[in-house]
Amino acid sequence: MSRFDALRAGTAAAMVTTALAWAPSAQGDTCEASTTCSTTVTFTVNAGEGLEISVPDGPVSLGGGQPGNQVSGQLQVVTVMDQRAALNATWTASVSGTPLTTGGGTGAEIIPLSALSYWSGPATATTGVGTFVPGQPTAASAQVLDEVYTAFSKISGAGRNSASWNPTIVVNVPDQAVAGIYTGTISHSVA
């Protein structure tokens, strides 16, 4: 390639580069003077990890009492986290239990579900917008754990939210209960 050909090739490349550098930007709208020109913008709100519930690590001691007495204690904080960012961000947390047993779990070694009650109490904390409703706001509304009950719910509102409560478990110790450490479970779920 001669010097002249190389110079001509370099000049052509520079012209192409210059032409690309001066290319006008894309336009979405062209308007007359003194009128409004609009550009559409978009934004994405991403949903989080979904709907989940967290419960205290056990074992949680409710204390102790003699046969024929009533014992109560708080379970510690239960929390529902709703990160679905849903338009209708409602949910219901449910609670259930198992009998308390000691030793071999026979006869007088069982405290039946009919002797266990639960009340959620009011929320200890909430985030987000909507109506949060305790399942059992006071001790007078405690429910026997012989079936599944609503522990807490959110009945209106949109977007991300959470609610926490510290439920109380009440044990009516049967007259025939024998001495021992009794163990059972309190289970929560959310949907």
Model pLDDT, residue 27: 56
CB of 49 closer than 8 Å to CB of 88: no
Residue (of 111, 79, 94, 92) closest to 148 by Cα position: 94
CB of 166 closer than 8 Å to CB of 124: yes
pLDDT (tens digit, 9 = 90+) per residue, 7-56? 455 544 444 444 444 455 555 678 888 888 888 888 887 777 899 999 99
Residue 25: how many CA atoms within 13 Å on its side-chain side?
4
| Fold (topology level) of 51-190 | Immunoglobulin-like (2.60.40)
> pLDDT digit of tens for each residue in the chain (191 aa)?
555 455 455 544 444 444 444 455 555 678 888 888 888 888 887 777 899 999 999 999 999 999 999 999 999 999 999 999 999 999 999 999 999 999 999 989 999 999 999 999 999 999 999 999 999 999 999 999 999 999 999 999 999 999 999 999 999 999 999 999 999 999 999 99
Residue (of 169, 166, 190) closest to 80 by Cα position: 190
Q: Domain spans of the chain?
A: 51-190
